[in-house]
Amino acid sequence: MAPQTLTENPFTLGVASGDPLPGSVVLWTRLAPRPYQVGGGLPPTGSVSVGWEIADDDRFGTPVQSGTVAAPAADNYTVHLDVRGLETAHVYYYRFHVGQWTSPVGRTRTAPAAGAAVSGLRLGLASCQQYDEGYYTALAHLAREDLDAVLFVGDYIYENAINAQAGARRYTDRPLPAVFNHWTVTLDDYRLRYALGKSDPDLQAAHASHPWIVTWDDHEVENNYAGDISQHNDPVAQFRKRRAAAYRAYWENMPLREAQRPKGPDMILYRRFQYGGLAQFDVLDTRQYRSDQAYGNGWNYPGPESENPARTLTGAAQERWLLDGFHASTATWNVIPQQVVFCRRKNTTAARSRLSMDAWDGYPASRQRVLAGAQQAGIGNLVVLTGDVHVHYAMDIKKDFNKPASPTLGVEFVGTSISSGFDGVDKPADWPTMTAANPHMKFYNGRRGYVLLSLDAQRVRADFRTVTGVRNPGAPISTAASFVSEAGNPGLKRA
């Protein structure tokens, strides 16, 4: 369709950038004059030509590059522009144009050159933004941090029916149409759910301020799904159709390259990013290839089923890719942004205790293969980054979690949630038990927020940022605790 025929602002969902490489970054937007309608208010077929420009400054005096890119109806009028030939480790500003309309301005940053000396990196770790459980206030604060990139590790949307009466947000301010009153199953359902989230100004600000490196967890498709197996064991063919719809909507709405575009129910989301010689990021997908949870999805006693070495959380191909990446790595830090808790968590102090069968605790052989591979490759500075559980944790990764004196192989930072779980509390009810039962757990906090991560040649530092609440907008941010782990001497210490 001709851009001139757009009579309403199509840039209602903001802009985004992501997957920074040396001299390259993906720029994203979506045209949706009416974001809460199926199709966004545009025709079901066709394409719109979108102008774009990228510049050194936010006034776009002399654009570094510019051009046009197609926003096809088949991609729900999203744009995924893979800009190349940019400078390395460089801040850029970008925007889009259609007809009389201009998008908000985004700011992004390319990755440093391969092997470059990088003095430091600052990253945000975020996850879990259930729209109906609270405002995205933490993202407004994240937008204002000085960061190289945001790592978002899953639950970007939730698939639940949104009951406008029960939600934490004051819907009287902004009533939701009935299209959000049922569970997401179809492509239209998933697309609408992304439009809902992306209409939030705080989420738009966080995307416009930093490039994001994203991976998903379960709720982008369905709670606790495992590969082809849905939570309630739907027929596999039916669930694969739902997964295909969910993956397609995910790709459309994330700043991802063509290489990640799904083929039916399959989408390669695990991928690697290098920040010069300082850090290698191996982004995992622990949902698409995993064996079904042992003993159900919840907390249960480990046994022969969970400990079966044939079970996998990553799938064989991704595991091989990860271990090969450890062997090839020359980085000071090996960082693994991923979904579910890596360290052992018992929920009683008894020797025999229940574990979360959905996390790495339910796949101990997978965890051992990753740790053994890291050790064989001489990976001394391992940092695992996690979402999913809606609380902050800082934990030492132990060679044997049952022996507190065994070597510490790395550290894990778990980055609470943006809004899932409502306001939360500093010390949840199980706080004394969890910290006593798991001596490698050095910190636990149940507020909403994110982790600010800084890396340099000497240490990794995590600042656990929290907001006082999300039921009302505008809560201030503060740092609940800060931890460091030294390069060459893994183990958490209070900063």
Residues that bind Fe ion (CB under 5 A): 128, 155, 420
Query: Which residue is associated with the tokens 């591979």?
Result: 373
CB of residue 267 vs Ca ion: minimum separation in angstroms? 18
CB of residue 457 vs Ca ion: minimum separation in angstroms? 34
Q: Which does 412 bind (CB under 5 to 8 A by kind): Ca ion, Fe ion, none?
A: none
Give 143-203 as a DSSP string: HHS--SEEEE-S-SS--S---TTT-SS-TTTSPPPGGGSS---SHHHHHHHHHHHHT-HHH
Please classify residue 292 by burial: count the beta carbons closer than 10 Å to its beta carbon, then call 0-12 exposed, 13-18 middle and 19+ buried.
Answer: middle
Structure-token pair, residue 388: 């999913």
Cα separation of 393 and 390, whole Å? 10
Comparing CB distances to Fe ion, the nearer of 155 and 423 is 155
Q: Which does 332 bind (CB under 5 to 8 A by kind): Ca ion, Fe ion, none?
A: none
Comparing CB distances to Ca ion, the nearer of 145 and 218 is 218
Query: Which residue is associated with the tokens 């990446």?
Result: 325
**Helices within 281-393 (DSSP H only):** 316-328, 364-376
CB of residue 164 vs Fe ion: minimum separation in angstroms? 21
Find the distance separating the first CA and the last CA of the chain, reported in whole Å: 57
CB of residue 2 vs Fe ion: minimum separation in angstroms? 42
Comparing CB distances to Ca ion, the nearer of 30 and 392 is 392
Cα separation of 290 and 148, whole Å? 31
CB of residue 135 vs Ca ion: minimum separation in angstroms? 20
For Ca ion, the binding residue among 218, 220, 222, 423 (CB under 5 A) is: 218
Cα separation of 9 and 33, whole Å? 6
Residue 397 in contact with residue 371, Cβ under 8 Å?
Answer: yes
For Ca ion, the binding residue among 148, 217, 220, 412 (CB under 5 A) is: 217
Contacts of 171 (CB under 8 A, 6+ apart): 164
Q: Which does 466 bind (CB under 5 to 8 A by kind): Ca ion, Fe ion, none?
A: none
CB of residue 356 vs Ca ion: minimum separation in angstroms? 11
Q: Which does 218 bind (CB under 5 to 8 A by kind): Ca ion, Fe ion, none?
A: Ca ion
Binding of residue 220 to Ca ion (CB under 5 A): no
Structure-token pair, residue 99: 């007809």
CB of residue 443 vs Fe ion: minimum separation in angstroms? 19
The enclosing H or E element of 48 equals strand 47-55
Comparing CB distances to Fe ion, the nearer of 52 and 156 is 156
Secondary-structure percent of the chain, ordered helix, strand, coil, rounded to 5 = 20, 30, 50
Q: For residue 390, give Cα distances in angstroms to 9, 62, 280, 321.
A: 36, 44, 26, 29
Comparing CB distances to Fe ion, the nearer of 231 and 375 is 231
Residue 417 has what DSSP assignment? Answer: -
Q: Which does 420 bind (CB under 5 to 8 A by kind): Ca ion, Fe ion, none?
A: Fe ion
- Quote the Cα angle for 180-472-190, to 5°: 20
Comparing CB distances to Fe ion, the nearer of 276 and 387 is 387
Q: Using the rule CB under 5 A, give the single segment among 106-114, 154-162, 376-384, 419-427 that binds Ca ion.
A: 154-162
Residue 178 CB neighbours (<10 A): 7
Q: Which does 133 bind (CB under 5 to 8 A by kind): Fe ion, Ca ion, none?
A: none
CB of residue 131 vs Fe ion: minimum separation in angstroms? 12
Q: Between 355 and 394, how does the x/- string for binding to Ca ion read (CB under 5 A)?
A: ---------------------------------x------
Cα separation of 73 and 83, whole Å? 21
Give 216-255 as a DSSP string: --STTTSTT-BTTB-TT---HHHHHHHHHHHHHHHHHHS-
Q: Using the rule CB under 5 A, give the single segment among 152-160, 270-278, 420-428, 463-471 that binds Ca ion.
A: 152-160
- Total residues binding Ca ion (CB under 5 A): 4
Comparing CB distances to Ca ion, the nearer of 218 and 412 is 218
Q: Using the rule CB under 5 A, give the single segment among 114-122, 161-169, 209-217, 436-444 that binds Ca ion.
A: 209-217
Comparing CB distances to Fe ion, the nearer of 221 and 322 is 221
CB of residue 288 vs Ca ion: minimum separation in angstroms? 14
Residues making contact with Ca ion (CB under 5 A): 155, 217-218, 388
